[in-house]
A and B are shown apart, each in its own frame.
Chain A
């Protein structure tokens, strides 16, 4: 059996809101408990703080739609680092956009995740400047230390990792980003230590 924590991405996206979304929720439940966080059938909303932040964001733009990417960042933080269907639905409702429009945006951007990620998200830069300073060995250290493949989540739900395109820190190569923090001038040894010290 495949690793149960690597989520079941097979669920169809609800093309519209309303009655059909209930079916979509039921369908995601079949794909593993991880995707059905929150009470089944009920629509999870952004938190009060999240909604307040969204109102503040909306004042910055002449259209509601322009707040979509900032709103998805807010939702992703609230949903534990990724955007399950109910997070997408919540954002779509707040911004009065069809869910399909929101999915279109989510699938386009590397920092928005449709599938489950670890509590710590590790991005190892492997683009040319880092490659020229040993990022292959950093990537190997991460893989060995975590014991899972790219885009998979460790069994304890703690970490997931990906190779990433240039993170704009080439003067401190090789480097990786964990959640919002840059870790620079890495060696394989330091990389392992940093990973072990994550909570």
Chain B
């Protein structure tokens, strides 16, 4: 799907004409430059690589400098590949024009990292609801994780504590509430994964 790279700015709310208060996320989207067109013949698959956010020249490696110069594009911070763009050329600039008010989009971001979390926070386990009746140190424990000598092991995929957040998350069917093309901003209905100022990709 064709898409663009952007940044999460923050959340606000907007009133619709019927007087409904719509929670919105402000996204800075584009302008993106096409930096490489991958073809089945040369790369084994079809894709379009686009870049976002200008970087100072001296912060680039020589290899990347060459890559951008070849595409006739400025030095860029973030590169992402998308499939099925129709008719783009190397060095083209893509802006918010791709999206219209009322469109439904998918937004991919990196969720906020929560660190190593127990099962109550991570998987919504209930824990033990009593502090008394024989419980003294297991209020937030998972309970049993399996049977005894048969199967004599813990099944794969058993939900336990571990790293939570800081993972790629996609949110589907977010409605585009407003497009402020002059400032490269898009408002979508609802929340978007990640912290403010983090990179996101928005797909049609």
Task: Answer whether A and B are interacting partners.
Answer: no
Residues of B that sit less than 8 Å from A by CB: none
A residues engaging B (CB < 8 A)?
none
